[in-house]
Chain A
């Protein structure tokens, strides 16, 4: 994008003043270099979101923003139901509550490297991954509804995970207001045999080394020690979430005019929060969030089993579990007044700062961990929510590096075997059912995550805590 289209607020913040049907400004957090690298659709989408009814303060885009469905990926927008605010299925997306969790180990790099190949094989064998894979459990109707209402809490009650995990999951592992009846039979059928599966595309399970510490005090509070290893899992609500996204996007798109909403883009499909459709979507979306939380809890349990069997080290305490792709009811102060707002984070992560309500005691002084995935080769970052993030973007931060190259272009530039071999030469073992899938996820297809994270810190969204380098990567 041409930076001259924006009003520069600072080196890492740019504004588009309202024009046309925009109700609020659009604000993009990016360095000039990142802004110019973004596709033009980001401008169109972040300004389109600003046109939606009931939007509060601004339509935001994070440093990793790119072309999405209605909302830019990396889009954040809050709506006030008392002001006719809307909830948008496009603002949440198809993979509801896709997110990341990181488990700690007390194992050092050398201990992992000593069994790297065998550990990779065991994880690849025991964690269902890829298209057509089935989970270890199949849910009947009663269990399905219990899972949709209970989330990670349900998973733990079923023997997948530990009670102390809940302290380290947003909403303590279970979102209130889930409505299993708002989830269609088709969505449930898609999920019936998918519990505890990783999925495909950019989903992964990685064993990573804590390579660098930027903030020793916060890292210590998070349990991160340089040279030790962690296990990170990235996946979402699987087929259930996808089906909910599909169905509600369509229903909202075709009924928008009934509510007097002129959609600048059909993908911005939405409904008033205080409408039957809006309420029904919220119930279904919350059920999907619970599904994602349960799914990651089960996969965490499977990873613990592999580590226990393999390395006699199955503790793997959960550092934290974050979600992107959600709409959450939160309290935010706007112009000195506390308001109940529905905050959409589409490919963006909640990043509440120190002292925020709901943080576990051990993290309260430091803010919420924010887990930013890079690519197979580039590694990932752990950040901490910053106090300033509340004023910047309702306590939100980016979620990943974002692609800089289409899947097509990636498969033309690289072969899957080439990528696997190159990463192996760098000490990274990649396991995937599809070499074409590996090529599509080539490190070079992604933006530089370091520049995204540096910008997030400079913009006041979150603070760098640690850098994690991959050793094993299980990809769908």
Chain B
């Protein structure tokens, strides 16, 4: 758990939940975009503690999908691709979502086996437990299981 609350005004936080052989990731936020950013942190935290990641480089990502849950799947899988193709790890995100379109920036650095000691490799985000819901007004939850 990594709460990032500001005297209770900011609900943004992330958590991981158990799933058999793999891992569930869950982000909370006051908007879907905020929850998506937190879910991404939860996913990256499976690899390396986000606090240990320098934010030297920024990668732009854009995705469009017919529903928020597909958009979450696409967002997380876009990050998986960028991490793999660029040998990077991310520690922070800026996300905006409007009309089914996501525009985001992911901040991170090239991964170092010595400095980061990455624990697992994320193969992909899955449909398992995939959900983007407004649990109560102003509290969005974005989650799925990732295959590691």
- CB within 8 Å of B: which residues of A? 39, 41, 66-69, 73, 93-95, 130-134, 186, 189-190, 199-202, 239, 242-243, 245-246, 249-250, 253-254, 265-267, 269, 402-403, 406-409, 433-437, 440, 476
In terms of DSSP, what is the predominant structure of the interface of chain B?
mixed
Mark each residue of chain B from 76 to 99: 1 if its CB lies under 8 Å from any CB of chain A, else 0.
Answer: 010011001101010000000000
B127 to A253, Cβ gap below 8 A? yes
B residues less than 8 Å from A201 (CB atoms): 120-121, 148
B residues less than 8 Å from A202 (CB atoms): 21
B residues less than 8 Å from A402 (CB atoms): 21
Mark each residue of chain B from 96 to 133: 1 if its CB lies under 8 Å from any CB of chain A, else 0.
Answer: 00000000000000111100111111011111101000
Enumerate 23 A-B pairs (CB-CB under 8 Å) in ascending A order: A41-B20, A68-B20, A69-B145, A69-B147, A94-B123, A130-B113, A130-B121, A131-B111, A132-B89, A132-B110, A132-B113, A186-B81, A190-B84, A200-B119, A201-B120, A242-B80, A242-B123, A243-B124, A246-B124, A246-B125, A267-B126, A437-B120, A476-B121
Number of interface residues of B (CB under 8 A): 40
A residues less than 8 Å from B77 (CB atoms): 246
B20 to A132, Cβ gap below 8 A? no
A residues less than 8 Å from B148 (CB atoms): 200-201, 407
A residues less than 8 Å from B70 (CB atoms): 250, 254
A residues less than 8 Å from B84 (CB atoms): 190, 239, 242-243
Given A130-B121, A199-B121, A402-B21, output 15 extra A-B contacts at Cβ < 8 Å: A39-B20, A69-B127, A69-B145, A93-B147, A94-B123, A131-B47, A131-B118, A246-B124, A249-B127, A267-B128, A406-B23, A407-B18, A407-B120, A408-B16, A434-B119
B110: nearest chain-A partner, CB-CB: A132
The A-contacting residues of B in range 25-52, CB under 8 angstroms, are 47
- CB within 8 Å of A: which residues of B? 16-23, 47, 66, 70, 73-74, 77, 80-81, 84-85, 87, 89, 110-113, 116-121, 123-128, 130, 145, 147-148
B117 to A433, Cβ gap below 8 A? yes
B120 to A250, Cβ gap below 8 A? no
Complexed CA–CA distance, A201 and B124 (Å) = 13
Answer whether A67 and B20 are a contact pair too, CB < 8 Å, given A267-B127, A269-B127. Answer: yes
User: Closest CB-CB distance, B92 to chain A, in whole Å?
Assistant: 19
9 nearest CB pairs, A to B: A406-B18, A131-B118, A132-B111, A200-B121, A67-B20, A242-B123, A246-B124, A436-B119, A266-B127
A residues less than 8 Å from B66 (CB atoms): 254
B residues less than 8 Å from A133 (CB atoms): 113
Complexed CA–CA distance, A250 and B34 (Å) = 24
B residues less than 8 Å from A249 (CB atoms): 124, 126-127
A434 to B117, Cβ gap below 8 A? yes
B residues less than 8 Å from A246 (CB atoms): 77, 80, 123-125
Complexed CA–CA distance, A67 and B20 (Å) = 6
B residues less than 8 Å from A130 (CB atoms): 113, 118, 121
Contact of B20 among A93, A267, A403 (CB under 8 A): A403
A129: nearest chain-B partner, CB-CB: B113
Complexed CA–CA distance, A65 and B130 (Å) = 22
User: Closest CB-CB distance, B6 to chain A, in whole Å?
Assistant: 27
User: Closest CB-CB distance, B57 to chain A, in whole Å?
Assistant: 14
Contact of A131 among B20, B23, B120, B130 (CB under 8 A): B120
